[in-house]
Structure 1
């Protein structure tokens, strides 16, 4: 395979899949012309040799369920890489960078890498990175430091099901962040509320994974000032019983409220939901669904002003 690939001097894209038991190496055979590389279900394939200093002209790299020998991936090897996606990489422990900044990187996605402990301890210096998504990496202890200065153009940050990340890094989050997906983690939420204004944030998703039990949400003063927030999603707060409408009134630009998989949610406290709301969507919340459909006296006055109300994708009002 190596000799065949090496002689395809105009090749721009390679996809390799399904070599489950083949022990092979790509380190010295990738053509200079190659821009996109995808490796899938090739556990024994060796992509980078540990002591090799070779650089690759890849623009896009995707590794899924492959390269079990890969413990550390250095961004130095890919100076013009724009998009990097790694999933189910069994022994990956770190992403590193010794020659900052990496000016080309625009999107970084890592998921189900169960041994991952570090994303560039010195800081992920990627001034043109716009999307950073990290999911199901249970041993990851922290996000990169100094994100506010090293990632000035980050627009989307998605940190889901990473139990080890108890708080956001010192210095706060990037100033131009528009979309944030996070767990309902006590340290993260308190840190978020202490960071001041998030002028650009329009989309906030809060998952209940790994959080302490909470009966009412949002708690008083927990949400930061979010003057531009138009969409809020509340997902899998499994012990949540009451939605506090008064706290949501602080979200003066809110247009869409999505509530999903909150099995114990039954009540709404305080005044009606924000008058700016255009859509209330409720999915897999059986107790709240019943109250909405039956126009319960403790629920209906708080939501009847919303133009569109959907329960499990069916419009009821």
Structure 2
């Protein structure tokens, strides 16, 4: 294999005979999968997109000067200890960083992440997430999307307000963090999308969510018994509620007048829909895994049908009515 050639795209899978990055041809878009003899990798010039998958012995990444990389993804690299030092200076064009199942990464580089970063995704990186008060993400003026999926070992941050986020964030997806304050959320004045799972959501709803929200996804919230605190969300258009097994009340005044799409899935203890409180703007209704309600929504027969027949889209258990 000629390491001096330059390709538009190169995908390498299970090439255990390659033990050095110098043997890998340069490519604009490079995808490296299941290299078990690779322990170090120097990101070459010309690389714009780089993905590592299941390189279980890869420990250290470094960057050549002049690299114009825009996207870096590291998936299931169990021994990866740190991200490239100096990446703030050496990767000025980086816009997307995705880390998944990298349990040994403890922190971001001391100098921080590249200033032009727009999307940051972190999934199942326990040590890294537990050091989040040191991330200094508030210094990233271009950050638009933050996605954190955590496991069950979250360490609560003392003085959680110290975990600051930039007000530029438009999409925030959080799973299983103990520290996410209403004060922090309200500081995100550009936030349009919020997806949460396994948080203490009742207190956040009570204290108020950002009024800029247009989409709200709530799932796996067993602590949620009643849905309150949405009335002031005058920009909210889509509401998705899933796997909230203890949800028992959806008051008639709970839904904002701006809502156009409502999805409720697998909330078996919710006894009814607040038909009298449904906003006139609502046009799409989707119901899944709700046996108590399904007979009431039956086409042209159910008790609720006259109240929902005018909706442009009605979907019950993945079937359109």
Query: 1:161, CA displacement in angstroms?
Result: 4.2
Query: 1:247, CA displacement in angstroms?
Result: 4.1
Alignment root-mean-square deviation, CA:
3.9
Other-structure match for 1:170: 162
Residues in 2 aligned to 1:12 and 1:79: alpha-carbon distance in whole angstroms? 15
Kept in 2: contact 1:201–1:228 (CA 8 A)? no
Change (3 A) 1:63 1:280: same
Other-structure match for 1:309: 314
Kept in 1: contact 2:138–2:165 (CA 8 A)? yes
1:153 partnered with 2:142: yes
1:181 partnered with 2:173: yes
Change (3 A) 1:212 1:98: same
Query: 1:175, CA displacement in angstroms?
Result: 2.2
Query: 1:214, CA displacement in angstroms?
Result: 1.5
Residues in 2 aligned to 1:96 and 1:240: alpha-carbon distance in whole angstroms? 45
Residues in 2 aligned to 1:281 and 1:224: alpha-carbon distance in whole angstroms? 20
TM-score of the two chains, using structure 1 as the length reference: 0.73
Following TM superposition, the consecutive aligned residue runs of length 4 or more in structure 1 with deviations greater than 6 angstroms are 75-78, 209-212, 294-297, 299-305
SS in 2 for 1:35: strand
Other-structure match for 2:95: 106
Other-structure match for 2:46: 57
Q: How many residues align?
A: 295
* Unaligned runs of at least 5 residues, structure 2: 201-219
1:36 partnered with 2:33: no
Residues in 2 aligned to 1:269 and 1:64: alpha-carbon distance in whole angstroms? 47
Kept in 2: contact 1:240–1:265 (CA 8 A)? yes
Other-structure match for 1:200: 190
Change (3 A) 1:169 1:27: farther
The one-character-per-residue Cα deviations of 1:139-194 (angstroms, maximum 9, x if unpaired) are 532446332332x2222222234444557773643323232222365532xx1455
Kept in 1: contact 2:221–2:245 (CA 8 A)? no
Other-structure match for 1:13: 9
Kept in 2: contact 1:74–1:96 (CA 8 A)? yes
Change (3 A) 1:111 1:26: same
Residues in 2 aligned to 1:194 and 1:305: alpha-carbon distance in whole angstroms? 39
TM-score of the two chains, using structure 2 as the length reference: 0.72
**Aligned partner of 1:131 among 116, 119, 122:** 119
**Aligned partner of 1:214 among 217, 223, 227:** 223
SS in 1 for 2:77: coil
Kept in 2: contact 1:97–1:124 (CA 8 A)? no
Residues in 2 aligned to 1:73 and 1:217: alpha-carbon distance in whole angstroms? 48
Residues in 2 aligned to 1:314 and 1:263: alpha-carbon distance in whole angstroms? 19
SS in 2 for 1:28: helix
Residues in 2 aligned to 1:98 and 1:234: alpha-carbon distance in whole angstroms? 42
Query: 1:86, CA displacement in angstroms?
Result: 1.7
SS in 1 for 2:194: strand
Residues in 1 aligned to 2:307 and 2:110: alpha-carbon distance in whole angstroms? 48
Change (3 A) 1:131 1:194: closer
**Aligned partner of 1:279 among 280, 284, 302:** 284
Deviates more, 1:141-150 or 1:268-277: 268-277
Query: Where does 1:84-99 land on structure 2 (aligned, <5 Å)?
Result: 84-98=72-86
Query: 1:6, CA displacement in angstroms?
Result: 1.6
Change (3 A) 1:88 1:127: same
